[in-house]
Amino acid sequence: MFSELLKTNGYAELRRVLGELNPADIAEEFEDMELSDAVRVFRMLPKDAAAEVFAYLPSGIQQGIVEKIKDFEIKNVVEEMFLDDAVDFIEEMPAGVVKRVLSNLEPGKRDIINQFLKYPENSAGSIMTIEYIALKERLTVREAFDKIRAEGIDSETIYTCYVTDSERRLLGDVSVRALLLAPPDARVTEIMDTSVVPAVTTDDREKVVGGFRKYGFLAMPVVDNENRIVGIVTVDDVMTVQEEEATEDFELMAAMSPSDDPYLKTSIFTLTKNRLPWLMLLMLSATFTGAIISGFEESLATIPALVAFIPMLMDTGGNAGAQSSTLVIRGMALEEVETSDVLRVLWKELRVALLCGTALAAVNFARIVVMGGDVILSITVSLSLLSTVMLAKTVGCILPIGAKKLKLDPAVMASPVITTLVDAGALLLFFAMAKALLGA
Amino acid sequence: MFSELLKTNGYAELRRVLGELNPADIAEEFEDMELSDAVRVFRMLPKDAAAEVFAYLPSGIQQGIVEKIKDFEIKNVVEEMFLDDAVDFIEEMPAGVVKRVLSNLEPGKRDIINQFLKYPENSAGSIMTIEYIALKERLTVREAFDKIRAEGIDSETIYTCYVTDSERRLLGDVSVRALLLAPPDARVTEIMDTSVVPAVTTDDREKVVGGFRKYGFLAMPVVDNENRIVGIVTVDDVMTVQEEEATEDFELMAAMSPSDDPYLKTSIFTLTKNRLPWLMLLMLSATFTGAIISGFEESLATIPALVAFIPMLMDTGGNAGAQSSTLVIRGMALEEVETSDVLRVLWKELRVALLCGTALAAVNFARIVVMGGDVILSITVSLSLLSTVMLAKTVGCILPIGAKKLKLDPAVMASPVITTLVDAGALLLFFAMAKALLGA
């Protein structure tokens, strides 16, 4: 749409359209345009809209634009952006671009950004912003509104203000709702809520998401080790983090290294790089399962029919284990399951495994017998199936909890790893049963 | 903690503690208490706190409390709750409890709740609330603040107000931030934002989540088919929906029927009911794979070594397919991939499959040869591996997109189904190669 207006020199119309669109929608249009066209349109945006649109762009296009615009334009955009958006942008840029961007900022802004870049990845500090309103404890409601009116336009959220003492230590928070409903001469300390639960800069960002989930915050203050407020995390950023964490788990659980980029924007080399090491590792592990089969070649030579049950046993074991590990991994991500629950989980899973395994074994027994199979053979297969399901569900619930206990990401212990392990166990069980019951 | 204070008759201390705790934390304490103790503490809460705590409770405990308290107490709690919380609560109750609750409400409230209960599950209407502030178009900023002060205490969010015409049709929205920064005599229509994007009551709730994700809203208005505002959806509810939708996908993708209950609170019968049908279906499908092996018993008799490669081929195929299907399913959930992208996705996956498959085949070839295996055998296995990976990635990306096209949930076409299908294909390819190259 923009490109056509550019071609026909419909600048007035273009300006009108830009004025009506939401910055997120303008950014979306940019993604499908030639970079040179996007830069032309970008330069037509007013300063504040330009900064907003820029914050919504994927980092590839951000870099393309920065490389084409002048130093003073970079300064305008970055200084107009909210600090958290500016930090997100700079974190994704190559070193040369970072240097050029930082050298064009005012020293104060540069220092703050440099400090933010130092917070550990995935910490509360790395997702917070400094555009919040702090109210000194002696202020009245009327004075608080004056301060909000004076500073509000630059604050990421004005709906929660933070009351501090003279040393910037956090005393409580007060919502604009409470301020609006209070008498103008009341002190903010009289109406503030002291039950506020702050995050510390070094807290894991998942803990921050947990806080929002539990309390339904719009914003959460972040303090340093001496309880001095240094920033806030806002709900829109938390929604993004929540979705990124879920995506990361989906990818890990399907044996891929997680990536932040949208699928269609990821190159095939990156996709391969994220997938191949896992496939390789799991392929080599699966050769051990093959070695187990080789070890029982004699049994298979005696009763060739055994081999036909291998896929069913392996698949059912893998599926049963994946069910358990998925519920446990997700439960831990949502803080519903703790590592200390390991025995409760195991006890639950063993009973579910017994119920599921018995039903599956019964149907399997009936199927083999109805189709004219040998009764002892079908007993062998059904008992192997039941024990495989029991084993799979045990492994499936224990491994993710164990991983968490070892401070690893539990999502690694998902379907692919469980399947590979359970396959080996299923075959060992199967051949042992065959030896015992069929003499194979 | 509460139980001990109850035992020692420390009521004054208990009241003090209750006054200081966040309602979400009180609700959490209730989950670990005897029901009768929870009811006693619940009755000590002031009316508004009781309603808030009640809204945070899991439905099992909500039902327990409702069954123990008197009619007038039910009326107090439900009428004090935000409408969306009340509707969520009533939706989960058995018919008898619903009848008792509804019969204790005032007719007006009862009619609204009945109307809300009729919105389709997972629609925008089913997650909205009616506690919002509507401003008539002729109001000034000063008059708007008077209205907010008068109504604000009952509104779920006062930070975005909606400007309507005399027929309640939505004209735009205005934030409290904009009101605070505007001259008191300006008209709300002068400062309202007309780019507001409302949802329609019948929209899928995932679409609502998409809107919040894209635009970073705090609240989103919901309109009927004639553009009249009927409610709002607030960001805290959207965070919950976002998390529920992700959990649902995790469960579906591991071959389970989704459930809203936390894992540890779910009975083993419910867990079994959610898992067994899928395991059964997949087990029976896997017997077809077994039948393929039976069909090639002669080949296996000629070259017994072939059977040792079956687990490796099956597992690698399953893993490769699960990677593709997971990325496509998640991409569609986040609206990054559309069904119309099918050819772009397929082209991407085929190239990734070629890269991954070639690398895996090469390593596999080297391993077999180094371990003293036959060269033709290792060529057979490696070519089968490459074609299995190509097949798996094709099936893995096409099936979820096809499911979406057929209005099914793409998450169903995940690892377990892909694995079962690819297993059969992998074996057919393997035996065909073995026939051609080894004459087996």
Residue holding tokens 């969306």?
B84
SS3 B231: strand
Q: Are the Cβ atoms of A360 and B280 closer than 8 angstroms?
A: yes
Q: Which residue in B344, B324, B340, B348 sits closest to B405, CA to CA? A: B340
Q: What is the distance between the alpha carbons of residues B198 and B220, in angstroms, rounded to a whole number? A: 6
Check CB contact under 8 Å for B359 and A235: no
Mean pLDDT: which of A85-99, A232-246, A395-409, B118-132 is highest? A395-409
pLDDT digits 0-9 by tens, B127-164: 888 888 899 999 999 999 888 888 876 677 778 899 99
Residues 159-178 of B with CB under 8 A from A: 159, 176-177
Of the pLDDT bands very low, low, confident and very high (cuts 50, 70, 90), residue A368 is very high
Residue A126: its pLDDT value, please? Answer: 86
The torsion angles phi and psi of B172, rounded to 5 degrees, stand at: 175, 180
CA B333 to chain centre: 10
Question: Once rounded to an integer, what is the mean pLDDT over residues B186-202?
Answer: 90
Q: Looking at residue A251, what is its pLDDT?
A: 94
State which amino acid sits at residue B438.
L
A281 inside 8 A of chain B by CB: no
Percentage of residues of chain B with pLDDT beyond 90: 48
Q: How confident is the model over A377-409, as pLDDT tens digits?
A: 999 999 999 999 999 999 999 999 999 999 999
pLDDT-based confidence at residue A65 (cuts at 50, 70, 90): very high
pLDDT at res. B153: 67
Mean pLDDT, rounded, of chain A: 90
8 A C-beta contact, residue A158 and residue A260: no
| 3-state SS, residue B15 | helix
Tell me which H or E stretch contains B230: strand B229-234
Chain segment B78-109, per-residue pLDDT in tens: 888 888 888 888 888 888 888 888 888 888 88
Residue of B nearest to A196 (CA): B22
Q: Are strands B229-234 and B219-223 parallel, antiparallel or unpaired?
A: antiparallel
Q: Is the pLDDT of residue A153 over 70?
A: no
B191 confidence band (pLDDT: 50, 70, 90): very high
Listed by start position, the domains of chain B span: 2-118, 134-234, 263-438
**Tokens representing residue A288 in the block:** 């051990």
pLDDT top residue among A155 and B174: B174
Please state which architecture CATH assigns to domain B2-118: Alpha Horseshoe (1.25)
Please tell me the predicted confidence (pLDDT) of residue A280: 94
Q: Which of A284, A291, A312 sits opposite B283 (nearest CB)?
A: A312
Tell me which H or E stretch contains B43: helix B35-44
CB atoms A239 and B212 under 8 Å: yes
CA distance B412 to A54: 37
Q: What's domain B134-234's superfamily in CATH?
A: CBS-domain (3.10.580.10)
CATH class of A134-235: alpha beta
| pLDDT the model gives residue A17 | 86
Pairing of strands A199-200, A219-223: parallel
CATH topology identical between B134-234 and B263-438: no
Distance in Å, alpha carbon of B164 to nearest chain A alpha carbon = 19
Please count the residue pairs, one from chain A and one from chain B, whose beta carbons lie less than 8 angstroms apart: 340
Give the per-residue pLDDT at B403.
94
Å between B349 CA and nearest CA of chain A: 8
SS3 labels along chain A: CHHHHHHCCCHHHHHHHHHHCCHHHHHHHHHCCCHHHHHHHHHHCCHHHHHHHHHHCCHHHHHHHHHHCCHHHHHHHHHHCCHHHHHHHHHHCCHHHHHHHHHCCCHHHHHHHHHHHCCCCCEHHHHCECCCCEEECCCEHHHHHHHHHHHHHHCCCCCEEEEECCCCEEEEEEEHHHHHHCCCCCEHHHHCECCCCCEECCCEHHHHHHHHHHHCCCEEEEECCCCEEEEEEEHHHHHHHHHHHHHHHHHHHCCCCCCCCCHHHCCHHHHHHHHHHHHHHHHHHHHHHHHHHHHCHHHHHHCHHHHHHHHHHHHHHHHHHHHHHHHHHHHHHCCCCCHHHHHHHHHHHHHHHHHHHHHHHHHHHHHHHHCCCCHHHHHHHHHHHHHHHHHHHHHHHHHHHHHHHCCCCHHHCCHHHHHHHHHHHHHHHHHHHHHHHHCC
Predicted confidence band at A187 (pLDDT cuts at 50, 70, 90)? very high
Q: Say which CATH architecture domain A263-438 belongs to.
A: Orthogonal Bundle (1.10)
* CA B428 to the chain's CA centroid: 37
**How many CB atoms neighbour CB B131 within 10 A?**
19
B334 to A246, A270, B324, B327: CA distances (angstroms): 11, 20, 16, 11
Whether B349 has a pLDDT exceeding 90, the answer reads yes
Counting Cα atoms < 13 Å in the Cβ hemisphere of B227 gives 11
Question: Is B275 within 8 Å of A180 when comparing Cβ atoms?
Answer: no
Contacts with B, A 74-133, CB within 8 Å: none
The mean pLDDT of chain B is: 90
- Please indicate whether, in this complex, the C-beta atoms of A326 and B420 are within 8 angstroms of each other: no
Query: What's the pLDDT score for residue A362?
Result: 96
Q: Smallest CA–CA separation between A352 and chain B, in Å?
A: 6
**Highest mean pLDDT (candidates A123-137, B296-310, B373-387):** B373-387
The answer to whether A214 faces chain B, any CB pair under 8 Å, is yes
Q: Do A323 and B243 touch (CB under 8 A)?
A: no
pTM to 2 decimal places: 0.84
Q: What is the 3-state secondary structure (H, E, C) of B342-379?
A: HHHHHHHHHHHHHHHHHHHHHHHHHHHHHCCCCHHHHH
**A336 and chain B: CB distance < 8 Å anywhere?**
yes
